[in-house]
Amino acid sequence: MEHVISANGLTKYFGPHCAVDQVSFEVPRGSVTAFLGRNGSGKTTMLRILLGLLEPTRGSSTVFGHDSQHLPPELRGRIGYLAEGHPVIRWMTVAQSAKFQAACFPRWNQQIFDATVQHFSLSQDAKAGRLSRGQRAGLALALTLAAEPELLILDDPALGLDPVARRALLESILYITHTPGQTVLLSSHLLDDIERVADYVLILDKSVLRAACSLDEFRKRIAQYHLTFRGSPPLPPSLPTLPGLLDILVTPNTLRLTVANPPTDLEEQLAALQPVDIQQQPVNFQEAVTAYMSDHRSRTFFLEQLNQTAPTGGAA
């Protein structure tokens, strides 16, 4: 399979802080690859390295088979980048923004630009600096799509949008994904949207790549078990050491374990804890992703913690 993006051991330090730690992955041509992670996990840093806007401390990456730190203009013209926050030139009108952008991209398609701004109900005479957040997102997307890029990189494009603007943005992305040969690398926190459009998933957590596979493979590799006990459930260190344990949720009589790549004898290990019942439950995509990005330690519902520490009342 041909890969549009290839990263090999990418590492980036800002002073003593490691923002990206030895990350390697590939993005297949024609795929929609979701790039997921909590705020501060290093996603934007990684995207900027891939675009040649930031130099890695170590490692290398290629885009269209070319070193991403030295992309020639003709290759940059094949890449569309929608940056976080939807930056636009505020003093320009919508029409002036298109004219300015068209001069930088030889494959500029004015019809795509006009259709996209119309989809977001934008006037060609409107000043970019006076647009709402959703309208500004529409303008930024129109400027990106009209260049007809072969590779589209979207950095949290729905950030801060209201439901109407978010739907318009998602519809535009869905349209893009039906274009043959179009490759999309999409960073987002909106997991429902990701599940609708993505083929592959990358999960970056605390600067480290935790998962890189197809969406179907990702779902298959996550299992969740609910254990019921007569009394309080056992807690670490009483629990067996389980490779791939992602998340432990404790309630008064139950234990919920989320595990990646569960071993074949896992249920036997769990039976040794002597629960009243063991049930394997289906895991939806959102639960699986958040389990990967959890702190990998036991936790309780935060309201349960409040109940345990709340005062019992009495005379003042």
By the 8 A CB rule, do 200 and 213 touch? yes
Residue 305: pLDDT over 70 = no
Which stretch of 81-90, 203-212, 238-247, 267-276 has the lowest confidence by average pLDDT? Answer: 238-247
Tell me: the pLDDT tens digits for 149-194? 899 999 888 777 778 777 777 777 777 767 777 899 998 887 887 8
Tell me: the pLDDT tens digits for 208-265? 898 899 988 888 888 899 999 988 888 777 777 777 888 888 888 898 888 888 888 8
